[in-house]
Structure 1
């Protein structure tokens, strides 16, 4: 049995409680305050696991901090690891004036162990990297770490090189732009962090190491600093994991439903009952949407015989680049262009901006995606876009996410938050990076340079203020070939006809099935949404004059 030190109380705040001593065989609270709780679990091993709770450590009634529960306890129990668990009492990213004291207390207990690893996922992954070293860990293992980006809410928890332990590993699915964006920010802050790709494992890539034996082996390899061995084990784990099979099937639904069905038919045994229900519901919903879109397309008038060639294919017509701000009739606009060309248009579209990085611009005539001006200008050609009243766009995204979650088409953190919280509560959530990326003046940042967290951070590092970013967006917008307003797509179609001689019949596609109108929500909720989009509101007013 290890001899643990006796620690004098270090708390000097009335809302903090630290134990003055703890018996070696005692499991219980090591530190407690209004923001978080620290739980200690003894174990016979010389290996100490320090875990930081994820956003999943909450239920309908709040935090799971109960004096015994902590994230990763099953992994700690199986091989007999000793453990110290940090559990947040709100979604605060362990942003608390008490964190330094609690970590120093944990470090006094960690000092007697041969191997100490900080471990977490999502919010907890960020916590392991930011606080692990101060808590006595020589290694940090972070799965899909999320970086808080709101300086007003999260101060003093940015990650710098001096914060991360000697051996630090970040496991992330490169196909998830948001997670990869967080990983890129971490790599810039601390280049020594080793990134381990978990292709097709999604945000919950930690589930690839679901068994205690595999998880313990991963932790020991990380603690040894053998990055090649960690890489090999991660490849084996993800290939063998059912989460990869389920993720591949779910990702294929939107664009390749037949492939999704084949994966499901071949590997049904890898889907648990809930996953089967979600997959079947999502595939059915997507097929119904495709059928409705096809039926609407069949009613679009075709060009008369002899006039079927697309004006977009003429040598004189430049390439068109559609900068698609989400939920601004972009899918309908792309479909209209494609149908007008009778299939002759070489079109490329994707929601993920990274998909456009390696493309030769000359390969296609028409590009459409949720990329920023930085990518749009690189593709060359004439840029077009459509704006929507920012409050209405916010509501459209929110209710669309609820629809995606309830129909099983997408089960992500964003859609789960939208499904769980009514809009009156949802608008108050300002501590979630992905929501900031999607809602906080999304149109302005996208039109100025890019709306991703990486792009936003880059603009700030370049010293750009809000006024400078707004003026960039306005200058860029002024140079677009066509600027439309979703509330008047007929006028936008007329602008396209005047510029290119193309007649577009823009049908409604990808419409949220059930949602209230802006006038139906309370004044307080509208005001809260306006706080999210105040720059977009001004940009929208300027766009009305351009359209």
Structure 2
């Protein structure tokens, strides 16, 4: 006998820890012949695998696994990462690791060895945990002030129900929903927050203190990062790590960036790339989001943003110059610097 509506709802609650997102989601699961099949399907979902990586029965990596190269996309929040992630995942399919947060350290090396593509909000040091002969790293950067405005709108777009469901993992969302842009970026708890304050330099120069970038928990201590202890060294480290990557791109030059990254990885570039995480668009489609008003730029907001971008601005300026030089060299048929 096919599973009932109540069994589907209870399955979502007990296995995924949430209610089904819509009636359509419930209907899609009513065709399972029994509860065991429903349970197997839910536990095979990307959502479950991301939350419970150690429940996977993947065995151990072989010598062959360890000798194969891998690709890692270091996703800085609100830098068009979901769009690039989807385009790259299309090439790797089941060889793409389901870890999308900064949680590679939670995985056994033998499990990681089964994958060839890693894409998430990883800090740079954790990429060294990927067991492969060679790891080709790529990333995307964005004009820092624009990134922060986009981040604020994305946070505010989350519904109260989404905040309640994720709890402390959504502390940054709760703060954004409670405050206007200037008050938000001026808040003392964000002075050294790894997703807000010079986020690109922090992510490229050292370990991040949390798994979820949206997290903001009372009592969290920020300030032990290299970016706080030695800002110039953090910037130099981030610049060196960026230059050592297989490729990087710029959100403002998306088409050229995608072509450049795919060429560097030896992959055929897609004909086009969708923009999956534009707040205005996904707020109309995603059940956990709602429409939000645009952010109006003014001098007070510019001052509040500037306090968070002193290092990222310099990293971005360098990236723009290097990217332009590489594009010019490619146009002339020369090897990029």
Contact 1:442 1:451 in 2 (8 A): no
CA apart distance, 1:516: 6.1
- 2:21 aligned counterpart, secondary structure: helix
The answer as to whether partners of 1:340 and 1:503 remain within 8 angstroms in 2 is no
Q: Which has more radius of gyration?
A: 1
User: Could you say what secondary structure the match of 1:446 adopts?
Assistant: helix
Aligned to 1:370: 121
The equivalent residue for 2:95 is: 346
Match of 1:444 in 2: 201
If asked which structure has higher relative contact order (CA below 8 Å, sep 6+), I would say 2
C-alpha contact 1:445 1:456 (8 A) present in aligned 2: no
1:415 aligns with 2:180: no
SS at match of 1:348: coil
Change (3 A) 1:285 1:432: farther
Q: Please name the residue that 1:496 is paired with.
A: 261
What is the deviation of 1:373?
1.1
Task: Work out whether 1:397 is the aligned partner of 2:155.
Answer: no
**Alignment gaps of 5+ in structure 1:** 1-257, 272-278, 288-314
The 3 A distance-change label for structure 1 pair 495 and 259 is farther
Tell me the C-alpha RMSD between the 2 structures.
Answer: 3.4
Q: Counterpart in 2 of 1:68?
A: none
SS of 1:471 mapped into structure 2: helix
Name the structure 1 match of 2:137. 383
What displacement does 1:369 show?
1.2
Among 258, 262, 281, the residue aligned to 2:10? 262
CA distance in 2, matches of 1:480, 1:316: 20
Corresponding position of 1:209: none
Within a 5 Å distance, the mapping from 1:5-16 to structure 2 comes to none
Q: 2:127 and 2:312 mapped to 1: Cα distance?
A: 19
TM, length-normalised to structure 1: 0.40
Give how far 1:503 is off: 1.5
| Change in 2 beyond 3 A, CA 1:517/1:457 | same
Question: Which residue in 2 is equivalent to 1:253?
Answer: none
Runs of 4+ in 1 over 4 A off after TM superposition: 263-267, 453-456, 514-518
CA apart distance, 1:494: 1.5
SS at structure 2 position matched to 1:322: strand
Task: Name the SS for the 2:277 alignment partner.
Answer: coil
The alpha carbon displacement at 1:546 in A equals 2.4
> What residue number does 1:292 align with?
none
* Gaps in structure 2 of 5+ consecutive residues: 1-5, 26-65, 165-169, 211-220, 281-290, 324-337
Does the CA contact (< 8 Å) of 1:323 and 1:383 recur in 2?
yes
